[in-house]
Amino acid sequence: MKTKYYDFSEIISEADLDDIITAYKRGEVIAFPTETVYGLGADINNDEAILKIYKAKNRPSDNPLIAHIGSIDQLEGLVKVVPEKAKLLIDAFWPGPLTIIFNKNNNISNVATAGLPSIGIRMPDHPVIESILVKGDLVLVAPSANISGSPSPTTMKHVSNDLDGLIYGIIDGGNCEEGIESTIIDLTSEVPTILRPGTITKEDIEEAIGKIEFDESLIGTAVVIAKAPGMKYKHYAPEAKVYIIDNCNNIELILLEINKEKMNIKKCALICFDENNINYDTIGTPNKFSLGSQSDLKYAIRNLYRILRDCDILGIENIFIEGYKEVGLGFSYMNRLRKAANGNFLKEK
């Protein structure tokens, strides 16, 4: 398949917009930009199109997709009821990087929701996808536009590297502002529960609706049923083995691991915050990447997936990356690192 490219990085072409909407409605799969990461979209009413997403990504069929809407009016056809707390969250955070889990209407495809009685919905905050959803009166279900398990794409080039030739089209809408996937909160449970942390934090949400919880899977318990993307499977991982640095002052531990595993230092990468950069000079790897300052974690999060993908391009085999305290945005940052490293912390036994 020859993939069609649309360049909306500077202006939105009305002719191309019409072409994209028509393609979605006839069952094509097209990657689109959002403020979080690039998504791979299909019409929620077309099971054959949705199955193309799973095939292109090599995505497990029990991993549900998120519905993207352009208007609050579209909620009525998707959910049984909009709880009062959902209305508060919508007022506070939509459009934006928050996905809300509702009980779905019976007419919603089981293919899109992996057979679950619930559906995750969000309203993205990006002019390109907003134009498509509103003008086409479309609801698109979409995961991230990458091969399953790899770091999510935050640029058109990332999408192209993974999916060129596998999908109908890719829309270039520039670099993603947030850099990680949306926060997901489940409102179908007795207590509102975060299933996936993002740049809208637990503290942000509690300001709007009061006390909420983290899902047990985020604090160590294995997932049996994935109610949302990113819960059950290894995610966000580069080709390299990833080690999370628990203590930036214990450089000796890194050197011991390099020697023990007989690592090629030229195939190792070090990813750290600016404040600690000098600490790692003795390691000797030519591949050092900056996350920015510890005082601006949002910047680090925005660039995390890009750096992991750059490591893949360089053929890096082992990555050592600094952790962060698990509070606020730090919890979201560490969630992605834990998934990328498969829980592999480099710390003293």
* 236, two tokens: 């966000």
If DSSP states are collapsed to H, E and C, what string results for 111-125?
CCCCCCCEEEEECCC
HSE-CB for 345 with a 13 A CA cutoff: 13
Residue 263 pLDDT greater than 70, yes or no:
yes
Q: What is the pTM of this model?
A: 0.95
Domain boundaries, the chain: 4-219, 241-346
The domain defined by 4-219 folds into: DHBP synthase (3.90.870)
DSSP-based three-state secondary structure for 88: helix
- Contact in structure between 81 and 103 (CB atoms under 8 Å): yes
pLDDT digits (tens, 9 = 90+) for 111-134: 999 999 999 999 999 999 999 999
For the domain with range 241-346, which CATH number is right: 3.30.450.270, 3.30.465.10, 3.40.30.10, 3.40.50.11030? Answer: 3.40.50.11030
**Contact (CB, 8 A) for 163 and 100:** no
Note whether 99 and 182 are within 8 A (CB): yes
pLDDT at 86: 98
Write the DSSP symbol of residue 144. B
- 61-93: pLDDT as tens digits: 888 999 999 999 999 999 999 999 999 999 999
Could you give the CA distance from residue 311 to residue 115 in angstroms, rounded to a whole number?
36
Mean pLDDT of all residues in 196-224: 89
Dihedral angle sign, alpha carbons of residues 287, 163, 111, 33? positive
Task: Report the candidate in 155, 171, 164, 197 with the shortest Cα–Cα distance to residue 24.
Answer: 171
Each residue's pLDDT tens digit, 148-168: 999 999 999 999 999 999 999
Task: Give the DSSP per-residue string, 146-210.
Answer: SSTTSPPP-SHHHHHHHHTTTSSEEEE----SS-SPPEEEE-SSSS-EEEE--SS-HHHHHHHH-
